[in-house]
Homo-oligomer: A and B are copies of this chain.
Amino acid sequence: MALLTSPITLFTAAKCFAKSRIGLTGSVRNLMSKQLVYGEFGDPLHVVKMREVEVPEVGNQEVLVRMLAAPVNPADINTIQGKYPVKVTLPCIPGNEGVGVVEKVGEEVSDISPGNKVIVTKPVQGTWRNIAVFDKTVLRLIPDNVGLVEAATLTVNPCTAYRMLSDFKPVKEKGLVVIQNGANSACGQNVIQICKAWGVKNVNVVRNRPDIDELKSYLKSLGATYVLTEEELRSTPIFKDKKLEKPSLAINCVGGKSSLEMLRHLQHSGCMVTYGGMSREPVTIPTSAFIFKNLAFYGFWMTVWNERASPDAKEAMMSELITMITENKLKAPVHKMVKFDNFQDAIGNALSSKGFQGCKYLLDFNN
């Protein structure tokens, strides 16, 4: 592995050996972490390698976490490819979210204890490793009754869904209707469930497929008011027949024709929030929609919200989401656990066009 010969890695390794050894099992030994790492941007199947390194000593403000699970998200893939506009220092351990159990805390850490379940709440060098030392400020305690996958995937998709439903139109307060495309995506499933928890009616657009009835049933079981294929959306009578008010908020992760069809159904003075572009086509907006329908168009990126939000705003969101999970109102997306050693299966799934909209793969460090 060329990576192990890079100056930074050698330096890190040297630093590790210079520190005192941590004994976790009672016997004196070096604690070793298996971690994924990439030293250059490129095809994740080629540039991401597994390595084993000694875990450094836990600093006064630090926490040693034995990781349980971490998802492979599109943003992780794009970061490794060098296509994501977040700058990382190479070599880099991928993974932006995940859950673990605290093994040991530094001397100045008082609010986290060994045995606690914690999630990683900020992009760090990274979650795809079985043992990690994190600064205490990037960790958040999670109640034990939050499921493993729900906890591992809490900080990206549910938070994105929550913010898009909160920050652009008062959908909860005013009972406005929401429409979204890519409704079967991991984020889309969260949008549906939060809408249901809030009593917000929602129209969900998906691409047609052989098992469309099964998908519709699944999304309705989550709380979808309507599920329509893109073709059905074009001619749906639900708005004309007053079965439903026209939507005031459209949530777009597809672009192209799909976003155009959605905006045609928007209320006067409605808005569309774009957080993805799965079709790889831009959002196209007729001038009349701007001027005569007074529509507004925004983007949303959780990374920027996290940078700008107050601790209080973050805490309010997290505690509401965690309450939803513990009350069984917010379930994890369709997912599959992949043993850490088989990480290439998880990466390969995320790289396939199906991976981004189908089943979320998580790395399972418990092996």
Per-residue contact bits, chain A 279-294, to B (CB 8 Å; 1 contact, 0 not): 0001111111111111
A274 within 8 A of B: yes
B283 near A290 with CB under 8 A, answer yes
Closest to A304 in B: B294
A92 within 8 A of B: no
Cα(A111)–Cα(B224), bound, Å: 59
A26 within 8 A of B: no
Which residues from 249 to 282 on chain A have a C-beta closer than 8 Å to any C-beta of chain B?
A: 255, 274-277, 282
Cα(A298)–Cα(B295), bound, Å: 7
A297 within 8 A of B: yes
Per-residue contact bits, chain A 62-103, to B (CB 8 Å; 1 contact, 0 not): 000000000000000000000001000000000000000000
Closest to A297 in B: B297
Cα(A295)–Cα(B283), bound, Å: 13
Closest to A289 in B: B299
Which residues from 290 to 345 on chain A have a C-beta closer than 8 Å to any C-beta of chain B?
A: 290-301, 304
Cα(A85)–Cα(B300), bound, Å: 31
A125 nearest CB across to chain B (Å): 21
Interface on A for B, CB 8 Å cutoff? 85, 255, 274-277, 282-301, 304
